Structure 1
Amino acid sequence: MEQRTQKQLIIGFIFVLIVSGIGYGFVDYFLITEATCFDNTKNGQEEGVDCGLLACGVACEPAIMPLNIQSQKLIEIEPGDYDFVSRVNNPNSFFGAILARYSLVLSAEDGTSFNKTGTFYMLPGQTRYLIVSGIRSNSVLNDGVLNITEVEWGKVEEFENISFPIQSKNYAVIDKNGTFSEFEAIILNNSDFDFDKVEVGVVLFGEDNNIVAADKTDIRTFISRTERYFKVSWPVKLPANIARQDIEVLTNVFENSNFIKRYGTQERFQKYY
């Protein structure tokens, strides 16, 4: 190969390198957005907002799924007196509902409606009852629709097992100074924690597996490894034989003030952020 030809090839190769470098720089500067892992924006090669193993070296958290209302029912106990029962599921394995707000829309036959609002909480993966009892109305109610309006989420790092086994229970219709229905039970706090407040829900089912009544109550200052008695009642003889009773015992583990202090320190159940 002649010296002149070799020189031309070398010059051409250098020219191609220069043009390629300029082109890459243009694309990199104007068209490719660098991953910035602290700007609360998904950009560059990030798989999510400020996350992704390739871009940020941090895996993205799974997307938070909304709470799922599995069932809901409005029950007339007697004229003007109603209970409402819903079954709610938290499909998230790591995120708990620290504070969930709901609105219950109650509709009457005359076309009027009114709302009842409240709050509740849920652990990751939990399914629980949401009971609204003692609903009073001068109009005949024919429907109740639950809407979850807002949820404050928290990722639960770790939590210990807390259980409240039922030691004994009894349902009876009492005919004394009037007829009413009564459910009573004894619960054990089978944990190492003392709780300021424990919530108890009772749902009664007839022989056809339909809910016929529900109620709830609180147990205050529930000491570890002790038993407590509770009772709920309805001012009527319920219209069906009670074939099953669901008792659900819950306590708010997201509220640190719910853990009674021991030896001057606040007990902690969970770590979350």
Structure 2
Amino acid sequence: MSSYFKKQFFIAFIYLIIFSAIGGGIFFGFVYSPASCQDGKLNQGEEEIDCGGPCVVCQEELLNPKIVWAKIFPVEGDLYDLAAQIENKNINHGTDNLPFVFKVYDSNNNLILEKIGRSYIMPREKKYVMEAVSLDSIPAKIALEFGEIKWQKFKLVEDLNLSIFDQSIDLNGKNNYAAFAKGTVYNKTRFDLATVDIYIVIYDLRGNAIVANKTQKDMMKSGEGKSFEVAWPKSFASDSSRIKTDMKAHTNAFSDANFITTFLEK
């Protein structure tokens, strides 16, 4: 090859390198965007867009518990039970300090009572809250509101298996009470529990709650079962086949006194 052609080949090669560099710069600078934690895309093993995996931990949008229903039940004389069913839809967060207030109104929409209470709720848990009150006026409706909730992330390493067996309803009445609900709660966790709360709600066949009650059992050892009984002074049904009973057992897994703080994520 003559020196002329060698020179022309060398010049063409230099131009090729220059144009390749310019084209690559345009592609990588304006067209190609490498995966990152700020690219607005779900990639590189992220759990959600730009979080999880190699990026920062995803922050759960924390929601107040959903109020499924709230009702007031006459007990006897000026005594009433305030009850509500609530549901925590947060996947990883619960709280051992759930402040709430029942607001009771008369038929003219006048506020006649505010009953403040506190409870706890686990992630993805549906439960009841209840308060007993005495009223000077006839109530017409109630509302449930929550205070400021300090959510805690909860690492559940196993199910909190609290089961209720031998459930029964006695509508015949005795000892000045019109009806009874009975059962046996079993602690099937591997922990000794300081307190187990038990809630009982009776529904009609259309799914409307008609009465509510609660009790608790203390110092339940792992594997232990304890019987319980609650009573109502006034009759609410004459035929047990026309009602449905919902009995739930819960425990506060956030409480140090309940001996299961290993579930808390440090």
Q: For 1:109-147, what per-residue CA distance to the aligned partner results, in whole angstroms no more than 9, with x for missing partners?
A: 473511111111111111111222x32212111111100
The answer to whether the Cα contact below 8 Å between 2:112 and 2:137 also exists between their aligned partners in 1 is no
Q: For 2:138 and 2:154, locate their aligned partners in 1 and report how far apart those are by CA, in whole Å.
A: 43
Give the Cα–Cα distance (whole angstroms) in 1 for the partners of residues 134 and 217 of structure 2.
Answer: 24
Contact 1:207 1:240 in 2 (8 A): no
The 10-residue stretch of structure 1 (248-257 or 169-178) with the greater mean CA deviation from structure 2 = 169-178
Report the Cα offset of residue 97 of structure 1. Answer: 2.3
RMSD value, Cα = 2.6
- Quote the residue 1:227 is aligned against: 225
Gapped runs of 5+ residues in structure 2? Answer: 1-37, 41-49
Secondary structure at 1:257's aligned position in 2? Answer: helix
Give % identity.
Answer: 21
Tell me the secondary structure at the aligned position of residue 150 of structure 1: coil
Aligned to 2:121: 122
Q: Give the match's secondary structure for 2:235.
A: coil
Q: Which SS does the other structure have where 2:150 is aligned?
A: strand
Distance 2:39 2:194 in 1: 45
Contact 1:109/1:139 (<8 A) preserved: no
| SS class of match (2:180) | strand
Secondary structure class of the residue paired with 1:158: coil
| Aligned 8 A contact 1:181 1:233 in 2 | yes
Gap change, CA 1:173 and 1:71, over 3 Å in 2: same
Equivalent residue of 1:141, what SS? coil
Q: What is the deviation of 1:153?
A: 0.5
User: What residue number does 1:91 align with?
Assistant: 89
SS at match of 1:165: strand
Partner of 2:16: none
1:252 maps to which residue? 252
- Give the structure with the higher percent strand: 1
CA shift digits 1:67-91 (9 cap, x unpaired)? 2112111222344222222121111
Letter in 1 for 2:119: F
Change beyond 3 A, Cα 1:53–1:212: closer
Equivalent position of 2:130 in the other structure: 131
CA distance in 2, matches of 1:176, 1:78: 16
Residues 26-74 of structure 1 show CA distances to partners (whole Å, capped at 9, x for unaligned) of xxxxxxxxxxxxxxxxxxx699xxxx669x9414312222221121112
Contact 2:169/2:182 (8 A) holds in 1: yes
Out of 178-187 and 235-244, give the one that drifted further: 235-244
1:241 Cα deviation from its structure 2 partner: 3.6
Q: CA deviation at 1:202?
A: 0.3
What is the correspondence of 1:66-215 to structure 2 with a 5 Å cutoff?
A: 66-109=64-107, 111-132=110-131, 134-215=132-213
Distance 1:124 1:159 in 2: 13
CA 1:241–1:205: 2 relative to 1, 3 Å: farther
Q: Distance in 1 between matches of 2:39 and 2:66?
A: 30
User: Normalized against structure 1, the TM-score is what?
Assistant: 0.72
Quote the residue 1:271 is aligned against.
264
> Does structure 1 conserve the Cα–Cα contact (< 8 Å) formed by 2:177 and 2:231?
no
